[in-house]
Amino acid sequence: MILLTGAAGAVGRALLRRLVDGDEPVRCLVRDPRRLGAERVRVQIALGDLADPGAHRNAMRGVRLVVHLAASMRDQPGATIEEINAVATLRLVRAAERAGVERFVYCSCLGASEHSTSRLMRAKALAERVVEQAAVPSVVVAPSMIYAPENRWLRFLDRASAVLPAVPLVGAGRARSEPIFSDDVAACLAALVADRPAPGGSRVELAGPDVLTFAEVLELAMAGRGRRRPVLAVPRPVAVALLRAAEGLLGVGTPVTEDEAALVGVSMLAREGTSHAEALGVRPLAMAEVLGPA
Ligand SMILES: NC(=O)c1ccc[n+]([C@@H]2O[C@H](COP(=O)([O-])OP(=O)(O)OC[C@H]3O[C@@H](n4cnc5c(N)ncnc54)[C@H](OP(=O)(O)O)[C@@H]3O)[C@@H](O)[C@H]2O)c1
């Protein structure tokens, strides 16, 4: 039995499509099974919230391998970024150890660091440490920026570029990443699930072939949608004041939180570029191949 968390997310959906075609049964820990779409009838459902320790115990029965993708870039009504990403991972790892799970695959992020300015990156770094020190054999998979044509931030970019003469960016957006398509991340994870050896030992770094600043990512994504708007660098203190005001007014409905905006300043570069993905049998696509030509 494979336990998958985050199955309704961008990577999770792409991975689930692959796993349900395999021989091993799959159980998904989800808050709302309807979010799994058609695949929900092909899997076992463990209904629960990551922030609820009871859900972990029930989900773990008879599990051989855990793929833990669920994460949140913002606080949720019942739990903070730190509780969902770090504390819940600790609880899931402990539950896996108690249940005698054979392998724990954790999806972190390139750029995760306990010293990061981003709360998400600090929480992910703590989670990585827990997974690395676990009694259960584990692999940390650290992708660069992940994108999919239906991504929330690409939809937001669509709306913003439709009504604004320029697309605002927090700071200069000079930090670089190697964006990787969600399907390519899923294909790499599927190879690990199929017991292909992890190319980096216990740490697999996943990157796409382009090395881009965030401003370049925005330009490429807009070009793929047939739009050209200049990217306007908003000085960080001004942007932070505006984002806090929007969060105060709109609450959880705010389009971008302060911490999400902080991610624009985090470099997400793999030490060996695309080589880990290739060792897992995946040639990651360039952004223009997925989103359309520049
Ligand atoms: N996106 C990126 O650029 C990026 C870059 C590097 C690494 N990563 C990591 O890659 C992994 C997959 O990313 P993704 O883009 O596929 O994420 P995503 O689309 O944001 O999906 C997140 C998933 O986590 C689930 N989740 C969130 N809070 C939960 C909770 N309290 N209880 C149970 N489930 C919860 C969501 O469930 P619902 O459907 O119920 O909301 C959703 O299925 C994550 O670990 C992420 O941190 C992402």
| pLDDT tens digits, one per residue of 50-83 | 998 888 878 999 999 999 999 999 999 889 999 9
Band (pLDDT 50/70/90 cuts) for residue 176 is very high
Mutation test of ligand 1: which of 32, 66, 109, 183 has the most ligand atoms closer than 8 Å to its C-beta?
Answer: 109
pLDDT for 294 equals 58
pLDDT for 73 equals 94
Closest CA to ligand 1's atom 2: 146
Mean confidence (pLDDT) of the chain: 93
Q: Examine the pLDDT at 173 and tell me if it is beyond 80.
A: no
Residue 237 Cα, ligand 1 centroid: separation in angstroms? 28
Residue 169 Cα, ligand 1 centroid: separation in angstroms? 23
Mutation test of ligand 1: which of 13, 29, 30, 31 has the most ligand atoms closer than 8 Å to its C-beta?
Answer: 31
pLDDT for 259 equals 87
Residue 5 Cα, ligand 1 centroid: separation in angstroms? 9
Segment 208-248, tens digit of pLDDT: 999 999 989 988 888 888 888 888 888 888 888 888 988 88
Number of helices followed by number of strands (H, E) in the chain = 12, 13
pLDDT for 247 equals 85
Q: Examine the pLDDT at 32 and tell me if it is beyond 90.
A: yes
Beta bridge partners of 3: 27, 66
Residues with C-beta less than 6 Å from any ligand 1 atom: 6, 8-12, 31-32, 35, 49-51, 69-72, 76, 84, 107, 109, 143, 145-146
CA distances from 245 to 13, 254, 268 (A): 34, 10, 28
Mutation test of ligand 1: which of 5, 29, 50, 69 has the most ligand atoms closer than 8 Å to its C-beta?
Answer: 69
pLDDT for 43 equals 97
Residue 119 Cα, ligand 1 centroid: separation in angstroms? 15
Query: Mean of the pLDDT values across residues 265-277?
Result: 96
Contact 207, 199 (CB under 8 A): no
- The number of beta carbons lying within 10 Å of the beta carbon of residue 108 is 24
CATH code given to domain 2-148+178-210+268-291? 3.40.50.720
Q: Examine the pLDDT at 172 and tell me if it is beyond 80.
A: no
pLDDT for 10 equals 95
Q: Examine the pLDDT at 205 and tell me if it is beyond 70.
A: yes
pLDDT for 33 equals 95
Residue 238 Cα, ligand 1 centroid: separation in angstroms? 29
Contact 246, 168 (CB under 8 A): no
Most confident by average pLDDT, 86-90, 196-200, 256-260: 86-90
Residue 154 Cα, ligand 1 centroid: separation in angstroms? 16
Determine the Cα angle at 123 with ends 118 and 126, to 5°. Answer: 130
Token reading at 99: 């249940």
The bridge status of strand 65-68 relative to strand 176-177 is: unpaired
Give the burial class of 52: count Cβ atoms within 10 A of its Cβ; 0-12 exposed, 13-18 middle, 19 or more buried. middle
Residues in the chain: 294
76 CA closest ligand 1 atom index? 31
- The number of beta carbons lying within 10 Å of the beta carbon of residue 191 is 20
Residue 108 Cα, ligand 1 centroid: separation in angstroms? 10
Token reading at 3: 């336990």
The whole model's pTM is what? 0.95
pLDDT for 54 equals 83
179 CA closest ligand 1 atom index? 3
Closest CA to ligand 1's atom 35: 70
Closest CA to ligand 1's atom 7: 109
Closest CA to ligand 1's atom 1: 146
Band (pLDDT 50/70/90 cuts) for residue 150 is confident
Band (pLDDT 50/70/90 cuts) for residue 293 is low
Closest CA to ligand 1's atom 8: 109
Report d(CA 161, CA 164) in Å as an integer: 5
107 CA closest ligand 1 atom index? 45
Residue 258 vs residue 146, higher pLDDT: 146
